[in-house]
């Protein structure tokens, strides 16, 4: 029986990063993956969807030719090409992860991993894609430490059967090679909004239904309201504060009843969140504690069983790929006994890649009020930013919420051009306890979108120069 210092169950962005960091620290490391290295993110989530979003951005730009002085006759958009490009991008990154496993001398087991006890993992061969993830394997391995990184799966609506054709989830949506004529999307979170943007850009008649009062319901209300204006301008039929009463197949399509209305469409995409993959992995046999399906962990991602850790979506702290990766590094460093950090989950970056983009970290203004905090707000509109005007993307704003007394950055909320690329400045500032004043006094190059960060920081104290 082979014995490892660390074995990771799950090869997604949390798992493979944890394995690499463990190997870098001199630990004999293995990874068990039943399907594809890179997990959902690289294969059926973050990466291919971003490739599709880029195609959608270009498609929208081409329809605005008049703004930039060019025109087309009979412009044709080929979604099949966009789909192929998304798969090519995904495949390239997956091969990169395979290379990193070899480079770091990590043993890859192709199979489904299940805990026999706290130190043994039973692996059952899965023949789906052995050439992608490693060699198909059946047997038992021993490990001094185990990191569970089994991710999560799309939630469905109780009583509704997802058939993968008319009623689909995000994964089925990424397999579509021709845009449907019509689609109802249930849920206005990141997945629903991003796919709504993609398919609407290729001519699909899109309806988005959200049970909560706003699109992007977890974001600052001002951001949500601004986003809703742009969604409606695109021709997306958005219904908020609306509960789905029924969803069923009807002929070759679907029928959705919501808010007293009936919607018929070719497809219905369910995008109402995720459930941790904590079943059938032997948690009971090892004595690992769960709560409502999520594995219970401490601040270094140890479970209730010594030497077993759980990272990423399976612990349900914050279901984002980059958060899983960060957790994986902390877990590996904790196992190796080297210096590490405790992650500020509330301060993690959160991003929507539809257009306009949305990016945020920390608390919303509503949450600041509910907590009884004394705070200040600084805003700066992209309408007054020279680079945004030059790009023809001058919508949206930057909003900063800071502690009134000490200047602590409580939350930052952005909507506008490339704001997902601008957010890390604020994550860094919060992590190292900078104030908006200190960000404002850092000279930002002109003309750049990042100047909006500086101006919003100045606006906290009422010193913004350009508004």
pLDDT in tens, 290-316: 999 999 999 999 999 999 999 999 999
User: Looking at residues 63-92, what average pLDDT do you find?
Assistant: 93
Radius of gyration of the chain (CA): 23
Instruction: Inform me whether the pLDDT recorded for 326 exceeds 80.
Output: yes
Q: Does pLDDT of 90 surpass 80?
A: yes
- Please give the full DSSP string across 427-445, using - where no structure is assigned: HHHHHTT--HHHHHTS---
Give the mean pLDDT of 57-62.
95
Of 13-27, 116-130, 273-287, the range with the lowest mean pLDDT is 116-130
Q: Is 53 in contact with 194 (CB distance < 8 Å)?
A: yes
**Whole-number pLDDT of residue 73:** 85
Tokens of 437: 């004043």
The rounded distance, in Å, linking the Cα atoms of 47 and 53 is 10
Report whether 9 contacts 286 (CB < 8 A).
no
**Taking phi first (over 0 means left), then psi (-120 to 50 degrees means alpha), and beta for anything else, what does residue 69 get?**
left
Backbone angles phi, psi at 457, to 5 degrees: -65, -40
Output the pLDDT for position 134. 59
pLDDT value at residue 287: 97
pLDDT at res. 466 = 92
Residues 179-219 have pLDDT tens digits of 999 999 999 999 999 999 999 999 999 999 999 999 999 99
Percent of the chain with pLDDT over 70: 98
Six-digit token string for 356? 């306009």
Angle, helix 190-201 to helix 221-233, in steps of 10 degrees: 20
Active site residues: 446
Length reported for the chain: 467
**Is 90 exceeded by the pLDDT of residue 226?**
yes
- Kindly indicate the confidence band of residue 128, based on its pLDDT and cuts at 50, 70 and 90: low
In the chain, what percentage of residues exceed pLDDT 90?
94
pLDDT surpasses 90 at 137: no
pLDDT tens digits along 351-404: 999 999 999 999 999 999 999 999 999 999 999 999 999 999 999 999 999 999
Q: What domains, with CATH codes, occur in the chain? A: 3-153+275-336 (3.50.50.60), 167-272 (3.50.50.60), 356-459 (3.30.390.30)
């Amino acid at each position: 029986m082979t014995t490892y210092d660390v074995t990771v169950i799950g090869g997604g962005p949390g798992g493979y990063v944890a394995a690499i960091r463990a190997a870098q620290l001199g630990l004999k490391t293995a990874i068990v993956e039943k399907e594809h290295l890179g997990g959902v993110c690289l294969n059926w989530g973050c990466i291919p969807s971003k490739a599709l979003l880029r195609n959608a951005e270009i498609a929208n730009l081409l329809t605005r030719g008049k703004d930039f002085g060019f025109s087309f006759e009979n412009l044709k958009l080929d979604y099949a090409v966009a789909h192929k490009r998304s798969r090519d991008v995904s495949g390239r990154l997956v091969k990169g992860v395979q290379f990193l496993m070899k480079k770091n001398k990590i043993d890859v087991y192709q199979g489904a991993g299940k805990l026999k006890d706290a130190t043994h993992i039973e692996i059952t061969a899965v023949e789906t894609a052995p050439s992608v993830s490693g060699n198909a394997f059946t047997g038992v391995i021993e490990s001094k430490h185990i990191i569970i990184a089994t991710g999560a799966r799309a939630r469905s609506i109780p009583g509704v059967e997802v058939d993968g054709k008319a009623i689909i989830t995000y994964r089925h949506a990424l397999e579509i090679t021709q845009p449907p004529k019509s689609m109802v999307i249930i849920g206005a979170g990141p997945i629903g909004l991003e796919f709504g943007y993609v398919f609407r850009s290729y001519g699909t008649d899109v309806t988005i239904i959200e049970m909560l009062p706003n699109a992007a319901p977890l974001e600052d209300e001002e951001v949500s309201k601004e986003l809703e204006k742009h969604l409606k301008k695109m021709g997306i039929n958005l219904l908020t504060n609306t509960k789905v009463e029924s969803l069923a197949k009807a002929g070759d399509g679907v029928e959705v009843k919501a808010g007293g209305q009936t919607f018929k469409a070719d497809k219905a995409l369910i995008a109402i969140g995720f459930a941790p993959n904590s079943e059938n992995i032997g948690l009971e046999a090892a004595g690992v504690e769960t709560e409502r399906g999520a594995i219970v962990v401490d601040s270094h991602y140890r479970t209730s069983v010594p030497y077993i850790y759980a990272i990423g979506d399976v612990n349900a702290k914050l279901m984002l790929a980059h958060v899983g990766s960060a957790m994986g590094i902390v877990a590996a460093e904790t196992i190796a006994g080297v210096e590490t950090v405790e992650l500020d989950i509330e301060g993690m970056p959160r991003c929507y890649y539809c257009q306009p983009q949305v990016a945020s970290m920390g608390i919303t203004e509503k949450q600041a009020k509910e907590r009884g905090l004394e705070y200040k707000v600084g805003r700066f509109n992209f309408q007054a930013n020279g680079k945004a005007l030059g790009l023809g993307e001058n919508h949206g704003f930057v909003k900063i919420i800071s502690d009134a007394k000490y200047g602590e950055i409580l939350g930052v909320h952005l909507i506008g051009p490339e704001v997902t690329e601008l957010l890390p400045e604020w994550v860094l500032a919060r992590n190292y306890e900078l104030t908006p004043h200190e960000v404002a006094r850092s000279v930002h190059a002109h003309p750049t979108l990042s100047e909006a960060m500086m101006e919003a920081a100045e606006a906290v104290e009422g010193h913004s120069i350009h508004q």
